[in-house]
């Protein structure tokens, strides 16, 4: 099962900003753009993915849409430059954000004692995750 989000990300995620990041042009507006992206765009892109086990090809496809804002703001398509920009702006790369979401989902199962998901978590290796 493979889904391609590269076209979907361009058409559905960036219009949520309601502006073109290139048109702002102010260096002081970069934290504002990234904050708007983190609160409005990234949750739409990452919705429900915590419960899915994604392949590396699917994560790469998602990373294209996730990194599009950085490519537009910093006017570069080089992966090293984009990863450095994410590091220095305090933004997690997509792979780490996805892994963090999955860990938060598993941690919520640890406390869900009376639910079917909590039972399955405890029965099928909850001790391995919590250790």
Q: For the segment 20-53, what is each residue's pLDDT rounded down to a tens digit?
A: 555 555 656 888 888 888 999 899 999 999 888 9
pLDDT tens, position by position, 56-70: 999 999 999 999 999
Asked if residue 75 has pLDDT above 80, the reply is yes
**Whole-number percent of the chain with pLDDT over 90:** 37
* 56-61 contact pairs (CB < 8 A, 24+): 57/2, 58/2, 58/3, 59/94, 59/95, 59/98, 61/2, 61/3, 61/4, 61/5, 61/6
Q: What is the pLDDT of residue 11?
A: 52
Q: What is the pLDDT of residue 97?
A: 94
Residue 27 CA to its chain's centroid (Å): 24
Q: What is the pLDDT of residue 67?
A: 93
pTM of the model: 0.72
The pair of three-digit structure tokens given for residue 86, joined into one six-digit string: 């994410």
User: Hey, is 48 helix, strand or coil?
Assistant: coil
Q: Which residue matches tokens 């995620």?
A: 13
Q: What is the pLDDT of residue 131?
A: 46
Q: Categorize the per-residue pLDDT at 94 as very low, low, confident or very high, splitting at 50, 70 and 90.
A: very high
Distances in whole angstroms, Cα of residue 17 to Cα of each of 11, 85, 86: 11, 19, 18
The pair of three-digit structure tokens given for residue 23, joined into one six-digit string: 């048109």
Q: What is the pLDDT of residue 109?
A: 81
Distance CA 68, CA 8 (A): 12
Identify which of 39, 50, 44, 47 has the alpha carbon closest to the alpha carbon of residue 13: 44
Q: Tell me the mean pLDDT in the region 72-76.
A: 89
Q: What is the pLDDT of residue 78?
A: 94
């Amino acid at each position: 099962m493979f889904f391609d989000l590269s076209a979907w990300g361009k058409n559905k995620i960036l219009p949520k900003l309601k502006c073109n990041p290139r048109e702002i042009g102010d260096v002081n507006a970069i934290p504002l753009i990234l904050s708007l992206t983190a609160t409005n765009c990234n949750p739409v892109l990452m919705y429900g993915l915590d419960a899915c086990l994604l392949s590396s090809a699917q994560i790469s496809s998602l990373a294209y849409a996730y990194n599009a804002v950085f490519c537009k703001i910093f006017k570069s398509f080089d992966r090293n430059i984009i990863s450095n920009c994410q590091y220095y702006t305090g933004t997690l790369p997509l792979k780490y954000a996805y892994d963090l979401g999955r860990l938060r989902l598993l941690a919520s199962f640890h406390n869900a004692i009376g639910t079917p998901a909590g039972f399955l978590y405890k029965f099928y290796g909850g001790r391995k995750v919590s250790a």
